[in-house]
Amino acid sequence: MTTPFEELAGLDRLIHEPARLSILTALASCKSADYLFLRRLTGLTGGNLSSHLSKLEEGGLIQIEKRFVDKRPNTQVQITEKGRITIERHWIQLENLRKDSQMWKP
Amino acid sequence: MQNLKEIRFVATNFSNLQGLRAVPLGLCLVLVCFWANGLQYPVRDFFVPVVGMVGSLMLLFAIDRYYLHAFGRVQRTPESLRLEWLISAVGGILALGAFWLDISVKLPVSLLGLVCAAGTLVDYIRITWLVKGRFLLYYPLVAVLMAGVSVLPLLGVSNWWKACGLETQMLGIAMAIGIFMIITGIWGHIFLVHTLQSRGRQNDHAI
C-alpha cells in the first residue's frame, strides 16, 4: 500500500506541470486544436507554448502538424493514443490523491 | 481541478460557445416576424425576408472569420458531432410537427415554444454532461422562460401577443425564439471571452 506522499512523488512530471496538464486536458476533449486556440485557452505566450508542446511531442503524447489554411500557416495539434491513456491515468491518480488526502490525519 | 473542468468545458464545447453565430439568425427571425406581421395578401413583395436572409448569411460568414482569427479552431470528436446531429435531427422533426399542429389545431399552448424549451434543456444537458460544473446556467433559465411564454394562454393570459403588437401567437412565439437566440448568443460570447481573458491573466507570468 502506497502513502499519499509516495503517490504524489510517483506522478508523471512531464504532464503534471500545470501548463502541460492544461494543454493535454484540452486536447483530450477534442479531436485536434490549433496553436492559436491553445494559446488563448492556456494564456501562455507563444514561446512558452512552443516549448511545452515540444516537450509533449518528444514524450510521444501529442502530434504536431504544420500546414497552410487559406494561404496562412496553421499548426494543428492532436493528442496521441499514448497521450490519451497517460492523461486519463493521471486524472485517476489526482482523483485518488484528492480522496486520500481527505482521509489523511496529521 | 476547477480550472481543468473549465478547460475541458471550453475545449469540448468551443463551437457552442461561439454565441455571436446565433445572433444573425435571431435577428433574421425577428425581422421576418415584423414583416409577416404587416403582411397583406396576396403577398408579392419578398424584399424584406430575402434581404434579411442574405444579410444574416453575410454576417454569419464575417462572425465565423472573426472567431477563426481571434480564437483559433478546434475539431470536435466524432462522438460529439454524431450526438449533436442526432439531437438536431430529432429536434427539427419535432419542431416541424409542433409547427404543423400549432397552425392546424387551436391549442391553449404553443407546442413549437414547448419543443424549443425542451430542446434548449436537452442541449444544456448534452453540453454539460461530461463536465460536472455549473456552466451556462442561462440555458435552463431560457428554457423555463420559453416554456412560460408558451403556456401563457393556458394560465389565463390570452392574446398576450396582441399586447406586443403581433397578430398571431405563432408570430409571438417566433419573435420570442429570435430574441432568446440573440440574448443567449451574446451571453455565450461574453462567457467565452471572459473565460479566455481570465485564463490569460492567470498565466501571464507562467514559464
ipTM of the prediction: 0.82
b/e map of A28-60 (b: 16 or more CB within 10 Å)? bbbbbbbbbbbbbbbbbbeebbeebbebbeebe
Q: Is pLDDT above 60 for A41?
A: yes
Query: Among A7-11, B41-45, B99-103, where is mean pLDDT lowest?
Result: A7-11
Sheet holding A72-79, edge to edge: A62-69, A72-79, A32-34, B74-75
Q: In B, which residues are within 8 Å of A43 by CB distance?
A: 196, 199-204, 206
Rounded mean pLDDT, B121-145: 80
**Does the pLDDT value for residue B64 go beyond 80?**
yes
Which of 48-67 (A) contact B at CB < 8 A?
Answer: 48
**Partner-chain contact A25 B75, CB within 8 Å:** no
Q: Does the distance separating the beta carbons of A31 and B11 come in below 8 Å? A: no
Of the candidates B91, B80, B197, B188, the one whose C-alpha atom is nearest the C-alpha of residue B137 is B188
Looking at the partner chain, which of B77, B202, B206 has a beta carbon nearest the beta carbon of A30? B77
Interchain CB contact of A37 with B (< 8 Å):
yes
Is B199 part of the contact surface with chain A (CB cutoff 8 Å)?
yes
Q: Does residue A57 carry a pLDDT above 80?
A: yes
Say which residues have a Cβ less than 8 Å from residue B62's Cβ, sequence separation at least 6: none
pLDDT score at A65: 92
Q: How far apart are the C-alpha atoms of B34 and B163, rounded to whole Å? A: 14
**Cβ–Cβ < 8 Å for B113, B150:** yes
For A60-99, the pLDDT digits (tens) are: 999 999 988 878 888 999 999 999 999 988 888 888 887 7
Reported confidence tier of residue B125, pLDDT bands at 50, 70, 90: confident
A39 chain-B contacts, CB cut-off 8 A: 72
pLDDT for B113 beyond 60: yes
CATH number for A83: 1.10.10.10
pLDDT tens column, B177-207: 999 999 989 988 998 888 887 665 555 444 3
Q: What's the whole-number mean pLDDT along residues A31-44?
A: 91
pLDDT of residue A72: 83
Give the range of the structural domain holding residue A67, as residue numbers without chain letter. Answer: 4-103
For chain A, the domain total comes to 1
List Cβ neighbours of B188 (8 Å cut-off, separation of 6 or more). B16, B17, B18, B19, B22, B136
pLDDT for position B101: 93
Can you give the pLDDT at residue B136? 77
Determine the average pLDDT of the residues in B9-28. Answer: 90
d(CA A34, CA A38): 6
Nearest to A12 by CA among A80, A86, A71: A86
In DSSP terms, A62 is beta-bridged to A79
Predicted pLDDT of residue B206: 44
